């Protein structure tokens, strides 16, 4: 509403002052209010430096701005606020004499930053020396996180040179890079690799950073590690690959990405489990569907002779069972003990799976290697 059209109306300056930031945000203060009204409003309100700068940028009349700004009360929280306000006043009010003041403030700011940085660097060097003799992994990892947030690459380099990057936590033997990958801290991962940390270093069970990132589902970290040469087929002591970890945990997007860069979709671990077997075993239907869509072997057998369908049946994963059956998976396939999917579901008490398999015409009288039927297996529970 243009105040010029409402000369006879009483203006509630206190109300407007309380809501002046809203008028500033709309960008039309000088169109809505008279100059004298703006002066009265500014006497009643406090502006943040950001709102003051926004206000004076809305007029192209330096003289008018100068008159209005004399009444402004601006909250300045730090040196940078002061510099920003003065730079804006110089620009929009054409106050060239402020240039020298601004230069001095910039110089002061730089000197303060140097002093602060110098003090921080001394403190960082002291912490590096302290942590070199420490086994407090959590504190050391937090220290690396802080360095990464401050983008002190040179100090991260010094910390790595001091051996802090190879410190390990006690439970799994993860070093700093592996822990950062496991937690999904991409910024720290990049900093550590840029400073020479071994991308293929391993935790106690032989798992690499890529495996830990895949297991946790951190797609951005997985992509970065692959981009800098991480081994996508690296196996730990149990033969688990990154794809196997991702499939077992149900991280579909990580599974898709690893497959897209050529990861072996049928790679087996030490027990003969494929990614599809793991996804079926844990009931991750979306991963099961995707792996089969890219050609994973639905009849692959573990060392014990179990197929994805048998594993899904023994764990009661009904939807996976239904899907595999719908694709023609062998519903009578036996493992090394002669256990069929129906036998496994019966032995473990998964009634809904048993009902479904029987509805799919499986042989309910088929015996295992010891002459037992599914009914006998169920009765022994």
pLDDT tens sequence across 119-159 = 777 888 889 999 999 999 999 999 999 988 876 667 888 89
pLDDT in tens, 89-114: 888 888 888 887 888 777 767 666 66
Supply 202's token pair. Answer: 């391993």
pLDDT above 50 (res 5): no
Where in the chain are the domains? 3-96
CB atoms within 10 A of CB 234: 18
Cα–Cα distance between 41 and 192 in angstroms, integer? Answer: 54
pLDDT above 60 (res 9): no
Mean pLDDT score of the chain, rounded to an integer? 89
How far from 194 is each of 55, 120, 189, 204, CA to CA, in Å? Answer: 44, 22, 8, 24
pLDDT in tens, 302-328: 999 999 999 999 999 999 999 999 999
52 pLDDT band (50/70/90 cuts)? Answer: confident
- The whole-number average pLDDT for the span 202-219 is 98
- Give the residue from 359, 360, 358 showing the smallest Cα distance to 373: 358
Supply 340's token pair. Answer: 């069929």
Supply 361's token pair. Answer: 């015409």
pLDDT above 80 (res 380): no
- Give the residue from 205, 126, 195 showing the smallest Cα distance to 166: 195
CA 282 to chain centre: 24
Using the structure block, give the residue that is written with the tokens 């940078």.
80
pLDDT above 70 (res 350): yes
């Amino acid at each position: 509403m243009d105040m010029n059209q409402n000369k006879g109306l009483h203006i509630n300056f206190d109300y407007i002052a309380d809501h002046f930031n809203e008028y500033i945000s709309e960008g039309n203060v000088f169109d809505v209010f008279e100059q004298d009204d703006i002066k009265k409003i500014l006497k009643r309100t406090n502006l943040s430096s950001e709102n003051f700068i926004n206000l004076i940028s809305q007029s192209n009349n330096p003289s008018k701005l100068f008159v209005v700004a004399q009444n402004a009360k601006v909250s300045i929280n730090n040196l940078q606020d002061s510099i920003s306000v003065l730079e804006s006043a110089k620009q929009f009010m054409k106050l060239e004499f402020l240039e020298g003041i601004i230069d001095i403030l910039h110089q002061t700011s730089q000197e303060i930053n140097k002093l602060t940085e110098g003090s921080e660097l001394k403190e960082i060097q002291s912490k590096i020396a302290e942590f070199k003799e420490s086994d407090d992994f959590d504190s050391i990892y937090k220290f690396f996180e802080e360095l990464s947030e401050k983008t002190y690459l040179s100090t991260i380099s010094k910390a790595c040179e001091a051996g802090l990057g190879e410190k390990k936590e006690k439970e799994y033997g993860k070093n700093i890079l592996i822990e950062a990958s496991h937690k999904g801290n991409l910024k720290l991962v990049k900093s550590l690799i840029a400073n020479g940390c071994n991308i293929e270093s391993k935790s106690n069970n032989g798992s690499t950073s890529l495996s830990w990132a895949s297991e946790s589902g951190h797609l951005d970290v997985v992509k970065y590690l692959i981009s800098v040469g991480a081994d996508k087929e690296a196996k730990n002591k149990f033969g688990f690959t990154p794809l196997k970890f991702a499939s077992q945990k149900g991280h579909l997007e990580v599974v898709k990405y690893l497959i897209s860069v050529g990861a072996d979709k049928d790679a087996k671990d030490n027990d003969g489990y494929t990614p599809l077997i793991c996804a079926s075993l844990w009931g991750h239907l979306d991963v099961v569907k995707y792996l089969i869509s890219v050609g994973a072997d639905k009849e692959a057998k573990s060392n014990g002779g179990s197929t994805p369908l048998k594993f899904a049946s023994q764990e009661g994963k009904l939807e996976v069972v239904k899907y595999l059956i719908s694709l023609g998976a062998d519903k009578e396939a036996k493992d090394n003990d002669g256990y069929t999917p129906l036998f496994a579901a019966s032995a473990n008490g998964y009634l809904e799976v048993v009902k479904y398999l029987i509805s799919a015409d499986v042989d309910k009288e088929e015996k295992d290697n010891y002459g037992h039927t599914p009914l006998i297996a169920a009765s022994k529970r």
